[in-house]
Amino acid sequence: DSLDLCFFCRHFRLLGLVTLWLGVIFLAGFFHTNPLRPSYPQTNVMFLKTHKTASSTVMNILFRFAEKHNLTLALPAGQNYHLGYPHRFMAQFVEGFKTMGQSYNIMCNHMRFNLPEVQKVMPNTTTYFSIMRNPISLMESSYAYNKFFTPAFRRSKDVNEFLASPWTYYNMSECTNNVHARNYMWFDFGYDNNAMDTEDYVQHVLAEIEQAFQLMLLTDYFDESMVLLKETLGWELDDVVYFKLNSRSQDSIKSMTPESKEKVKEWCSLDWKLYQHFNRTFWRRIQETIGLEKLDQEVNLLRMRQKELMELCLLDPMPIDKTKIKDKKLQPFQSGRANILGYNLKEDMANETLRTCLRLITPELQYMSYLYAHQFPEKKRKSTAFSLWRR
């Protein structure tokens, strides 16, 4: 009888341990904490700001984070708007590099990526990330923004005519001026946008990019990308909440024919393969860290907070035409055929609320000018945008 009792006790304890363990697994699945989320916010960040990928909105997020934590930005030398683009990046393109060395925290201006030179500027603990967009919508956007700057686009009537016969308008001898017209992202990552599309070459480049960048976001899933960015960097919800910047009016968006969409995959085949690859890695990363159910919850929280801030800050519920922006200092830069929209703030807000709202809507050039003046007060200012905050 005593042996039977001991046998029963042992199995009862084992059953209890199994039940406890299953409960832990259930709770972990219910709350789904991200095992790779840092325990403290990462403050050394390099963002490769690719073109026409909602990167201006990401840049605003990084500018706000830099202000919040009093971080040092790797800003373009001479109050330029980019870091040497379209030339490959060199450390000397950063203001103050000769004296500051690797003491910068955040780099996020347009550049053509060059890892060895970036590593001269950014600390060894830096997190590298970038963002990609479906090349089909990227082509339409690039055409609208760069119509008057790109020879291949200037010679054609619209994006559909260009794609129907791109070699009619595209001249290889003008390759630097035509980077907007073919494999735009491939070029921004530092590679030859006119290179031969061979399997070995493409796989080599994809491996190099994966080695250099810890995270790749997708414009086409922007809210999901902001959640993944927040989790990867250990940031808070308000750090990644945003108002859409540098967006166009609907009437400046050209409808593309089915034939044009298919042609992009051929004409920009390097970009197409780049996007397909990192689309797959994006969703794999989501599955490994957050999970789809938790992702949906986080996206909903982000959108609720965005709506709350829009109701607090904005006079109009949606971005408005440039002609309707009351404060001319807040008008976004206009480019090509695109009609770039902006915002009006509500009046009579408390000072702290005003500053929060102003940071969310300030266009990239004005915000950068303000941060440059703050970081380098001894430099002669080209712009009066710094006065935006002195209201």
Residue 24 in any domain: the answer is no
Residue 29 in any domain: the answer is no
Which residues, at least 6 apart from 356, have a Cβ–Cβ distance to it below 8 Å?
309, 313
Give the integer Cα–Cα distance in Å for 198 and 200.
6
pLDDT digits (tens, 9 = 90+) for 326-353: 988 888 887 666 678 889 999 989 999 9
Which residues, at least 6 apart from 287, have a Cβ–Cβ distance to it below 8 Å?
none
Residue 19 in any domain: the answer is no
What are the DSSP calls for 24-45, one per residue? HHHHHHHH---TTS-SS----E
pTM > 0.85: yes or no: yes
CATH number of 96's domain: 3.40.50
What are the DSSP calls for 102-164, one per residue? T---EE-S--B--HHHHHHHS-TTPEEEEEE--HHHHHHHHHHHHTTT-HHHHTSSSHHHHHH
In which domain, by residue range, is 365 found? 45-389
pLDDT digits (tens, 9 = 90+) for 72-111: 999 999 989 999 999 999 999 999 999 998 899 999 999 9
Sign of CA dihedral 35, 280, 215, 114: positive
Compute the average pLDDT of residues 34-47.
88
Amino acid at residue number 267: W
H/E run at residue 47: strand 45-48
Residue 25 in any domain: the answer is no
Q: Which two tokens stand for residue 276?
A: 């397909």
pLDDT digits (tens, 9 = 90+) for 162-204: 999 999 999 988 777 899 999 999 999 999 999 999 999 999 9
Give the integer Cα–Cα distance in Å for 378 and 143.
39
Residue 358 in any domain: the answer is yes
Report the 10 Å Cβ neighbour count for 7.
Answer: 10
Q: What is the pLDDT of residue 315?
A: 93
Q: What is the pLDDT of residue 13?
A: 58
Task: Please answer whether residues 120 and 126 qualify as being in contact, where contact means their C-beta atoms are separated by less than 8 angstroms.
Answer: no
Above 80 in pLDDT, residue 289?
yes
- Count how many domains the chain has: 1
Give the integer Cα–Cα distance in Å for 329 and 144.
24
Residue 39 in any domain: the answer is no
Interaxial angle between packed helices 258-267 and 269-289, expressed in degrees from 0 to 180 and rounded to the nearest 10: 90
Give the integer Cα–Cα distance in Å for 227 and 286.
10
Give the integer Cα–Cα distance in Å for 306 and 138.
25
List the end-to-end C-alpha distance of the chain, in Å, as a whole number.
87
pLDDT digits (tens, 9 = 90+) for 211-261: 999 999 999 999 999 999 999 999 999 999 999 997 887 877 899 999 999
Q: What is the pLDDT of residue 249?
A: 77
Q: What is the pLDDT of residue 335?
A: 67
Q: Which residues of 48-75 are buried (b: 16+ CB within 10 A; e: fewer)?
A: bbbbbbbbbbbbbbbbbbbbeeebebbb
DSSP state of 377: T
Above 80 in pLDDT, residue 21?
no
> What are the residues facing 314 on neighbouring strands?
345
Residue 9 in any domain: the answer is no
Q: What are phi and psi of 215, to 5 degrees?
A: -150, 140
State the Cα torsion 152-57-87-114 to the nearest 10°.
Answer: -130
